[in-house]
Amino acid sequence: MPAIDVPVEQRAEYNRILEQLFRQCQDTYSNLGKIYVLLKQGDLLQKLITIVSRIWILVFPLSLSM
């Protein structure tokens, strides 16, 4: 993924949004079992896993070791 040059005046907001995205990915990942039980649709869960995984790998490659 190419580096993004964020202007100094927008860095605080960019970092805040990135942190929110990170937390949402973590929450979603940790609740996949519950989500599956509620949805009872494996295809939707598979799509959700794909979305979360792609975001995680693209945006947070260093946090994979967590």
Residue 2: pLDDT over 80: no
DSSP class of 2: -
DSSP state of 8: G
Residue 47 amino acid letter: K
| Single-letter amino acid code for the residue at 61 | P
Residue pLDDT, tens place only, 27-64 = 888 888 888 788 777 788 888 888 888 877 777 665 54
| Of 10 and 32, more confident | 10
**Verdict on whether the full-model pTM lies above 0.85:** no
Give the H/E segment covering residue 15: helix 11-30
Is residue 65 pLDDT above 50, yes or no?
no
Could you tell me the residue ranges of all domains in the chain? Answer: 12-60
At 13-22, the pLDDT tens digits run 988 888 888 8
Is residue 46 within 8 A of residue 35, CB to CB? The reply is no
Is 57 in contact with 21 (CB distance < 8 Å)?
no
